[in-house]
Amino acid sequence: MSQPAVIHLEKMSKTFESGFFFKRRNVAVREVTLSIAPGRTLAVVGESGCGKTTLARMAAGLLKPDSGLVTFAGRPLPTWDDRSLRQRLQMVFQDADGSLNPNFKARDLLLEPLRLHGLLQGDAEAQLERLLSMVGLVPDLLDRYPHEMSGGQRQRIGIARAMSLAPDLVIADEPVSSLDRSIQAQILSLLRSFQERDNVAYMYISHDLESVRAIAHDVAVMLGGVFVETGPADAIFTNPMHPYTRLLFEDAIESCDARAVSDYDMEWCQASEDGCAFAPLCPHAVAACSSSLPLLIEPTPGRYVRCALAADTNEIAA
Amino acid sequence: MKDRWKSPGMLLGMVLCAILVFFAVFAPQVAPHDPDRQHLAHRLEGPSAEFPLGADKLGRCVASRIIYGLRPSLGLAVTITALAGFIGTSLGIFAAYFKALDALLMRITDCFFAFPGIVMALIAISILGPGETSLMIALALPGWPKYARVARSKALSIRECGYVEASRAIGAGPFYILRHCILPGVLPSVVTISTLGIGGKIIHIAGLGFLGLGVQPPVPEWGTMLIKGLPVIEVAPHVSLSAMAAISLSVLAFTMLGEGLRDVLDPRSNLSDWRKLQFAS
């Protein structure tokens, strides 16, 4: 990476505890390290419950990590004042319905970020027109409430809100997973066009491999709160090394959906306290896999795999 | 949504409340007599064309006094409810949004809850002395915790909604979020319980008037009229009966309006299910 990273996460961990008398610990994210360079897209792939959203919320500074540090644009996140940080780091949410204030009309939703940051200069109508055309919406929509719009329209509003402040990084948490295939493609190309124009970086969280293939430069596969494999998207898609990634992609050929892999996800998360979360299902697992977390190894430059057997199993597969 | 407005109870409540407010505002125009004017020749006289609800011990027109009595009752009840609602709602949403304040604010609320409302009002009045201001303080003091509880529980659920986090993510401060995200969701319930609360406050005001601790004579007030009518109830029952009817009618009006509002604004409230169960059994 030639340019300095726009965001760097160093050994982020988060454990949730629940229950009053009997504490139940749920390790959501374990020692995750990642970097995203300007204008690049890192896709974090994994099934529900693997810690993707927790990671995204920590990266955005909406959730305090138990340990680890986020560095945004060269400065640690805690030293940023909220106002200037929120201007440069934006989020797009999965559930555009729930993430738009139901008490506001589209007009106010679109102008809200600019108003909050005191950037609304001159003619509000002109700004609205610019924002609408930016995301391909028609002005008829302006006087509607979120529940009166379609899912695609809501997500476009969500994207317009995020992009209106010209951020450096947008964390998109499953932005297209509740939409139709055809709308998904439109939203993804919209996101790509912003990247080409403004050199914005994306952290794209998804379980949908097809959309990841369409937008990501780099991919990180997440399982049980850890990254099991990271690397350039092309390399990972053509030659997945971790047994879990391979299973994910094989199944995904039919279903295009990482969620279809298994129903074991909850047990995986709970079982991941010590060993590799995939050990119970892995065809190549040995005893050591379930007792200690495998180290991250670098079989080829730029690719990291958290599996002791990755190199060998890779040969088996080949 | 539309047909919910057609519930007969709410319509009746709305009409009654509108009439009450109209009479309170235009009391000088609609009252047949000056409420303080003593027609000594007509003392304790029963209802007649000149005195629709008769006259009291001092020969004052009961109808006029009932109509003028609307002013302190309604005015104070609305003011007290607004005061209690404002304090309670603010504290409730603060407690829900700022987790650090939650325990402290809610324990204070519990303290106020633990105290019987009318006892607290009596203590407050005996400290402050009777009068309209002390009446307001005395009734708002035990009134606000209910609003704090309701506002907090509503705000707690709204706070977990996606759009609250989304607003934080675009850089909204806590007060902006409280004002634009949380308050709009809390208001329907607060409006509902305050409408129901106005009815309760009317009873309390009359009750304190009955004990001689409320609005002081010669201002016409229903509770005072009720107790003044009691000694003469055998010869002139119309005096206390009119006051009783006025109190019941106005409480009924606000309760019906409040229940109707609840069905419209809070359709999933289980209170209405509870009521249905009661009817069924």
DSSP B50-75: SSTT-B-TT--BHHHHHHHHHHHHHH
pLDDT band at B152 (very low <50, low <70, confident <90, very high): very high
CA B261, CA B146: separation in Å to the nearest integer?
Answer: 18
Query: What is the reported pLDDT for A3?
Result: 65
pLDDT band at B51 (very low <50, low <70, confident <90, very high): confident
Contacts of B171 in chain A (CB under 8 A): 82-83, 85-87, 113, 116-117
**What is the residue-averaged pLDDT of chain B?**
84
Q: Is residue B16 part of a domain?
A: no
Amino acid at B13: G
A301 exposed, middle or buried (CB, 10 Å; 0-12, 13-18, 19+)? exposed
CA A276, CA A297: separation in Å to the nearest integer?
Answer: 14
Interface of B with A in 32-51 (CB under 8 A): none
Q: Is residue B1 part of a domain?
A: no
What tokens were used for A180? 């139709």
Residue A252 makes CB contacts below 8 A (sequence gap 6+) with A209, A210, A258, A260, A261
Interface of A with B in 30-89 (CB under 8 A): 57, 60, 62, 82-83, 85-87
Q: ∠ CA(A100), CA(A105), CA(A107), 5° rounding?
A: 105
Domain harbouring B98, CATH code: 1.10.3720.10
Query: What is the reported pLDDT for A290?
Result: 73
Helix, strand, coil percentages (3-state) for chain A, rounded to 5, are 40, 20, 35
Interface of A with B in 237-276 (CB under 8 A): none
| Long-range contacts of the stretch A147-151 (C-beta < 8 A, 24+) | A147/A97, A147/A102, A149/A106, A151/A96, A151/A97, A151/A178, A151/A179, A151/A180, A151/A183
- Which chain B residue lies closest to A109 (C-alpha atoms)? B167
Interface probe for A, chosen from B161, B167, B170 (most Cβ of A below 10 Å), is B170
Q: Is residue A2 part of a domain?
A: no
Query: What is the reported pLDDT for A271?
Result: 46
CA A174, CA A168: separation in Å to the nearest integer?
Answer: 19
Domain harbouring A281, CATH code: 3.40.50.300
Number of H helices, E strands in chain B: 12, 0
Q: Is residue B24 part of a domain?
A: no
Q: Is residue B176 part of a domain?
A: yes
Q: Is residue B6 part of a domain?
A: no
Asked whether residue B89 carries a pLDDT value surpassing 90, the answer given is yes
Contacts of A158 in chain B (CB under 8 A): 166
Query: What is the reported pLDDT for A273?
Result: 61
Give yes or no for a contact between A216 and A40, defined as CB atoms under 8 angstroms apart. no
Q: Does the beta-carbon distance from B170 to A98 stay under 8 Å?
A: no
Give yes or no for a contact between A282 and A244, defined as CB atoms under 8 angstroms apart. yes
Q: Does the beta-carbon distance from B166 to A99 stay under 8 Å?
A: yes
Query: What is the reported pLDDT for B104?
Result: 92
Q: Is residue B51 part of a domain?
A: no
- Identify the segments of chain A with pLDDT beneath 70: 1-3, 96-97, 251-274, 310-318
Q: Looking at the 3D structure of chain A, how many domains does it have?
A: 1
Has the ipTM of the complex gone over 0.95? no
Give yes or no for a contact between B133 and A70, defined as CB atoms under 8 angstroms apart. no
- Please compute the mean of the pLDDT values over residues B166-180 and round it to a whole number: 87
Per-residue exposure over A258-282, b if at least 16 CB sit within 10 Å of its own CB, e if not: bbebeeebeebbebbeebbbbbeeb
pLDDT band at B86 (very low <50, low <70, confident <90, very high): very high
At A113, phi and psi to the nearest 5?
-60, -40
Q: Looking at the 3D structure of chain B, how many domains does it have?
A: 1
- Please compute the mean of the pLDDT values over residues B23-49 and round it to a whole number: 81
Q: Distances in Å between the alpha carbon of B219 and those of B4, B55, B79, B230?
A: 40, 16, 18, 18
Out of A57, A86, A101, the one facing B171 most closely (by C-beta) is A86
Domain region containing B250 = 29-46+72-280
Higher confidence at residue A250 or residue B256?
B256
CA A41, CA A193: separation in Å to the nearest integer?
Answer: 13
Q: Is residue B3 part of a domain?
A: no
For chain B, give the percent of residues with pLDDT over 70: 92
Q: Does B180 touch chain A (CB under 8 A)?
A: yes
pLDDT band at B5 (very low <50, low <70, confident <90, very high): low
Q: What is the DSSP letter of A109?
A: H
- Please compute the mean of the pLDDT values over residues B70-88 and round it to a whole number: 92
pLDDT band at B266 (very low <50, low <70, confident <90, very high): low
Q: Distances in Å between the alpha carbon of B113 and those of B79, B109, B119, B187?
A: 21, 6, 12, 22
Q: What is the DSSP letter of B218?
A: T
**Reduced to 3 states, what is the DSSP secondary structure of residue A67?**
strand
Domain region containing A83 = 7-317
Contacts of A117 in chain B (CB under 8 A): 171
Query: What is the reported pLDDT for B79?
Result: 93
Interface probe for B, chosen from A85, A99, A164, A171 (most Cβ of B below 10 Å), is A99
Q: Does the beta-carbon distance from B170 to A113 stay under 8 Å?
A: yes
Of residues A90, A57, A58, A84, the one with CA closest to residue A159: A90
Query: What is the reported pLDDT for B280?
Result: 44
B190 exposed, middle or buried (CB, 10 Å; 0-12, 13-18, 19+)? buried
Asked whether residue B228 carries a pLDDT value surpassing 80, the answer given is yes
Q: Does the beta-carbon distance from B170 to A161 stay under 8 Å?
A: yes
Per-residue exposure over A15-41, b if at least 16 CB sit within 10 Å of its own CB, e if not: beeeeeeeeeebbbbbebebbbbbbbb
CA B192, CA B266: separation in Å to the nearest integer?
Answer: 8
